[in-house]
Structure 1
């Protein structure tokens, strides 16, 4: 199965939160409400500067993905 790079997720226990899952390395879930990130990878040994740069780019892309998905509902 080919997974999309980003997936939207929600949970009725957190109705105000907006979750986006990133399915490629480094896999993570971001809550767009507060930009809290939950990593699904062990990033020990990775260069902190590289990860910080990559995360900033991926967070922007996650936000763009969400905005594009919401346009489809308008």
Structure 2
């Protein structure tokens, strides 16, 4: 099965939160309300500067994904 790079998630236990799940390496869930990240796999041992840049890029991609999805819901 091929999964999309990002998935949108919500949960009635957290009614004000918006979750984006990143399914590629490094897998994580980000709460867009407070930018808190929960890592689903170990990312230690990586080049720290490279990893920081990659994470920042992925967070921007997750935000863009959310904005795109919300625009599509409006249509």
TM over 0.5: yes
TM-score scaled by length of structure 1: 0.97
Moved more, 40-49 or 2-11: 40-49
Unaligned runs of 5+ residues in structure 1 are none
TM-score scaled by length of structure 2: 0.95
Q: Where do 4+ consecutive residues of structure 1 move more than 2 Å?
A: none
In 1, the alpha carbon distance for the partners of 2:41 and 2:49 equals: 17
Unaligned runs of 5+ residues in structure 2 are none
In 1, the alpha carbon distance for the partners of 2:3 and 2:44 equals: 25
> What is the RMSD computed on CA atoms of the aligned residues?
0.6
